[in-house]
Structure 1
Amino acid sequence: MADELELLRRADPVPAHGPHYGDGPLDHNAERRLAALLNERPAVRRRPRLVWSLAAGTAAVVTVLTLLLSGPGTTPAVAAPRPLTIRADATPVSLTELAERAARAAAQGQGAPKLRKGTHVQSWSMGMSDDKPPVTLPEERVVRWKADGSHSELVVATDPRHPGRPVLRDDGGAPHLVEDGHVLTRHTYPPSWSDAPPESTPPHDAARLRAYLQEAAYTRTPLTTPELLDTIDELLDHWTLGARESAALARILANTAGLRPVGRVTDRLGRSGAAYEYRSAGTRRLLIMSPSTGQVLGLETVFTKADPQYGVKAGDVMDYSAWMR
């Protein structure tokens, strides 16, 4: 559906949340909260897992899909994306310096981006099961809000790494191909309002924004760095931050333990960014930010240890989100 994909590409960013039916599948935020309640490892439960109805023929099916998607001599589209390449920088931008740059950009005011409710995001997530090969499921989502509080959400299957080529999906319990730009879901939701984060408007003061994120994480204990990054992920799935909010967020990140500058990257949408790394047991989180405005461009999670139970190798990308204005 080329027309649908073009509509999505031109859409103004605005939030991506909405009521979920009680008997429907959990979204990735609900999966993450459930994992926290069950004290599960986030590497396993953070994203939905595939449930395939295939038996011994699964490996052969995936091989056929790989050939269909790639053709001779090309990189298979089924394979997980490679981690972003970090280019060493003799003088990497510290988060403190980045926060100061973001504050100056916000202070200029004239022409600075404004806060908008909603999001436009390209994402890749690894689907896993106990005994089937993992596959990466790419999609793009945009949500538009209207003045009366109603909103619409459009989700399409597309992968900018392979424009125009078929995309692998697992809908219906079995892996299959759909055309680039295939509409996965299209919903319109009636007016609704909430005064609880992350539905409510985020503040543009660093101290108040930190309290807002704390409340959005449903905990009274200080957020760990991984919890903060998860909550920022959720925030950006609801809001497109303006210059002042981005500056406040950069200030919070500058005072966050364990995040260190590692150099420059070109993200999966071709944008140049400053990269900040956080390592924990089994994973590496890479936060990509605009070096001039402090806007969060993307967040990547990579496995640093193999997990044979799920067919995961060290260096596999678990998930990646690229947010757009």
Structure 2
Amino acid sequence: MADELDLLRRANPVPVGGAHFGDGPLDHRAERHLAGLLSERPAERRPRLLNTRRSRVTWGLVTAAAVSAVTLTLVVSGPGTQPAVAAPRPLVVLADSTPLPLEQLADRAETAAVDGSPKLRKGTHVQSWTLAMSDDKPPITLPEERIVRWKADGSHTELVVATDPRHRGRPVLSDEGGDPRLVEDGHVVDRRTYPPSWSDAPPESPPPHDVAGLRAYLQETEYTSTALATPELLQAVAGLLDHWTLGARENATLARLLAGTRGLRPVGEVTDRLGRRGQAYVYDGSGTRTMLVMDPSDGAVLGLETTFSRADPEYGVKAGDVMSYSAWMR
């Protein structure tokens, strides 16, 4: 134990006398020491594997895929040290920005959809940050980018890489193989080709262009015939966007549906984690807050963020910690 404590102290990425950056990347010395710590510790002393299936938060709005994020690190601490930040900070509404009602945004989306361009496209391009937790280790955030492309024969490819767009070229944290470790930016986590699929069930089938039809479509993606509560509806929207890149008409229909959603209130303008300006709409749930970010010009959904609104000591999370964030690209 003494040897291990000494190793931890020497690998300390945030020394007491050093500069502290609340959500900034480690310097080169810290990254080198942390990489050494991960590679030198005996196997039986390494942190227990974070089981993605059970450790990633599954309540609220966590997507399998789920951006001003930090360069993420394992929390390594010794006496008198502060732990390295393990999660990005939540999006902040810009001061003095004017909230745009969803009804007005839906009107804009319908105007933008008059010429029907751009068109609906099957496949997605999404950047996500997802919180992974275990019973005995501090939570860590895993940044990934996923690109899904469909071919004319009904087959499709899926590419998943570990990357943080705010810190290109810097190592990022990945749990590939179940062992949290630093990998090179752009490291391929998964690359697969799937055989043709001709399923006509949502979300494989194209979404409809009327609000009632889209509502039923989203219910079917959640395997229910009853009306979706707001958290479930937003979860279904995320599932839709993980399968399709919506066109102008689909954006307008979705915006109109969201305009009639209870509890989703406008709060103002934000800059999302890819540097895009959008209007934010917030839903306060039980223990979580979900923020939907939409393009004010055409109603496209840019991102979806879920944060904890109260602390959960059992999992080592505090109020305001980001549970998940997804940013969809067009």
**TM-score, normalising length from structure 2?**
0.76
1:57-72 matches, cutoff 5 A: 62-63=75-76
Q: Structure 1 counterpart of 2:75, which letter?
A: V
Alignment match, 2:104: 97
1:143 aligns with 2:148: yes
**Of residues 113, 120, 124 in structure 1, which corresponds to 2:118?**
113
> For the structure 1 residues 188 and 262, does the alpha-carbon distance in structure 2 shift closer, same or farther, using more than 3 Å as the test?
same
**SS of alignment partner, residue 168 of structure 2:** coil
Shift of 1:79: 2.0
Deviating more after overlay: 87-96 vs 184-193: 87-96
Over the aligned positions, Cα root-mean-square deviation in angstroms equals 2.3
1:170 aligns with 2:175: yes
1:1-325 matches, cutoff 5 A: 42=59, 46=62, 62-63=75-76, 79-89=86-96, 91-109=98-116, 112-325=117-330
Shift of 1:123: 0.3
For 1:173 and 1:106, locate their aligned partners in 2 and report how far apart those are by CA, in whole Å.
Answer: 44
Shift of 1:47: 6.6
**SS of alignment partner, residue 114 of structure 2:** helix
Q: Is the 8 A contact 1:304 1:315 kept in 2?
A: yes
Which 4+ stretches in 1 moved above 6 angstroms? 25-28
For 1:26 and 1:62, locate their aligned partners in 2 and report how far apart those are by CA, in whole Å.
Answer: 18
For 1:26 and 1:117, locate their aligned partners in 2 and report how far apart those are by CA, in whole Å.
Answer: 27
Q: Structure 2 counterpart of 1:132, which letter?
A: K
Q: Is the 8 A contact 2:98 2:269 kept in 1?
A: no
Shift of 1:310: 0.4
Q: Is the 8 A contact 2:149 2:156 kept in 1?
A: yes
Shift of 1:215: 1.2
Shift of 1:180: 0.1
For 2:111 and 2:144, locate their aligned partners in 1 and report how far apart those are by CA, in whole Å.
Answer: 34
For 2:53 and 2:220, locate their aligned partners in 1 and report how far apart those are by CA, in whole Å.
Answer: 20
Q: Is the 8 A contact 1:203 1:245 kept in 2?
A: yes
For 1:97 and 1:154, locate their aligned partners in 2 and report how far apart those are by CA, in whole Å.
Answer: 37
For 1:181 and 1:93, locate their aligned partners in 2 and report how far apart those are by CA, in whole Å.
Answer: 37
1:134-178 CA-to-partner distances (Å, cap 9, x unmatched) read 000000000111101011111100011222110111223322110
**TM-score, normalising length from structure 1?**
0.77
Q: Determine which structure has more spread, i.e. the larger CA radius of gyration.
A: 2
Shift of 1:88: 4.0
For 1:99 and 1:61, locate their aligned partners in 2 and report how far apart those are by CA, in whole Å.
Answer: 42
> For the structure 1 residues 305 and 160, does the alpha-carbon distance in structure 2 shift closer, same or farther, using more than 3 Å as the test?
same
Alignment coverage as a number of residue pairs: 266
Q: Structure 1 counterpart of 2:183, which letter?
A: V
Q: Percent identity?
A: 69
Unaligned runs of 5+ in 2: 1-50, 65-72, 78-82
Q: Is the 8 A contact 2:176 2:189 kept in 1?
A: no
1:152-209 CA-to-partner distances (Å, cap 9, x unmatched) read 1111000112221101112233221100000011101111111110111111122211
> For the structure 1 residues 27 and 321, does the alpha-carbon distance in structure 2 shift closer, same or farther, using more than 3 Å as the test?
farther
Q: Is the 8 A contact 1:47 1:126 kept in 2?
A: no
**SS of alignment partner, residue 76 of structure 2:** helix
